[in-house]
Amino acid sequence: MPVPLHQAKAELFRTLGHPVRVRVLELLQDGPLPVRDLLSAIDVEASNLSQQLAVLRRAGLVTATREGATVVYVLSTPDVATLMFAARSILTELLAEQGELLAELRAEARG
């Protein structure tokens, strides 16, 4: 029996629920990167990055190719970058609203 759509979406969002995985996806928006570049951009142990990359591969969000001794990662589809952009837009809007509320509270406290 196939997995219901809402359950599949929940699994996708659980996959996105780790800061290292989100950072990897952000970095890969600009194009393919070898693991060594991901390691230099993200302050984590190599074993931790490897685990997080494996989760992203299993979820189908990234793909890996070997170029000699180097493993290069890329987003599996441009839709992943679109999703990351949508998340940024949503957060920007939410934080703007919170900033407006904070400004009102500060003005109220002064007045």
Tell me the pLDDT tens digit for each residue of 1-54: 888 999 999 999 999 999 999 999 999 999 999 999 999 999 999 999 999 999
Encoded tokens for 46:
């190599």
Q: Are 21 and 50 in contact (CB under 8 A)?
A: no
If you write DSSP's letter for every residue of 74-102 in order, what string do you get?
EESSHHHHHHHHHHHHHHHHHHHHHHHHH
Residue pointed to by tokens 């609203």: 97
- pLDDT classification of 85: cutoffs 50, 70, 90: very high
Give the chain's end-to-end CA distance (angstroms, integer).
Answer: 62
